[in-house]
Amino acid sequence: MMYLKLFLEFFNTGLFAIGGGMATLPFLYDIADRTNWFTRHQLADMIAVSESTPGPIGVNMATYAGYITSGLTGSIIATLGLITPSIIIILIIGAFLYAFRDNKYVNGAFYGLRPASSAMITSAGLIVAHVTFLNGNNLNFKAVALAVILLIFTHAIKFTRGLHPVFWIAFSAIVGIIFKF
């Protein structure tokens, strides 16, 4: 029964998360809020691990969430749940590819879906920011300082701007250990 629930939750995520790996984030937060499978706090760590290991981020997050929920079997079932809608939808679309791409209703739907997806990822990001930068009601100054440094490195400095996220994750882990975050 647990496995069926797990499969259906991730099937739902795979069916409605549009716009790549990060788009699964709002759904994972929704699952965290409704079930006691994993916490919002654990989710933030999952994102970090998923970004810094091989494989698509969305798949990694589903695997991780499934593992935390119920071990290896859970990770397999969550991943299968996530990819099942993709397989069904793409096999159907594949049969009439260009008709799909040029359809005005399909394009219209995505005109609305893209900003909605951006907004939901923004909201998920704000949740992560809340647990990261606030200790109760106090601002965590070390965290803010590190964020400012990372923003400068990933935007303003040409030499470091193109570096892979895994580099910044390792950098932040080391800073966290040295300065006792």
Partner 1 sequence: MLMKLKILMSKLKILIELFITFSKIGAVTFGGGYAMLMILLREIVQNKHWATEQELTDYYAIAQCTPGVIAVNVATFVGRKTAGNLGGIIATLAVVFPSVVIISLLAGVIKAYASLEWVKNAFAGVRVCVCVLIFNAVIKLFNKAIIDKKTLIIYLLVLAGAMTLNISPVVFVILAGIAGIILSVKKS
Residues 102-121 that bind partner 1 (CB under 8 A): 104-105, 107-121
Site for partner 1 in 140-159 (CB under 8 A): 143, 146-147, 150-151, 154-155
Q: Give least dist CB 104 to partner 1, A.
A: 6
Shorter beta-carbon distance to partner 1: residue 4 or 55: 55
Cα-Cα-Cα-Cα torsion 50, 56, 62, 67, nearest 10 degrees, comes to -60
- Residue 20 near residue 58 (C-beta atoms within 8 A): yes
- Whole-angstrom Cα distance, residue 113 to residue 144? 32
Binding partner 1 (rule: CB under 8 A), the pick from 40, 70, 132, 160 is 132
Residue 177 binding partner 1, by CB under 8 A: yes
Binding partner 1 (rule: CB under 8 A), the pick from 99, 157, 163, 166 is 166
Sign of CA dihedral 134, 135, 138, 143: negative
Q: Give least dist CB 88 to partner 1, A.
A: 9
Each residue 69-108 as x (binds partner 1 by CB under 8 A) or -, in order, gives ---x--xx--x--xx-xxx-xxx-xx--x--xx--xx-xx
End-to-end CA distance of the chain: 40
Q: Give least dist CB 7 to partner 1, A.
A: 14
- Whole-angstrom Cα distance, residue 53 to residue 134? 28
Q: Is 85 exposed, middle or buried (0-12, 13-18, 19+ CB in 10 A)?
A: middle
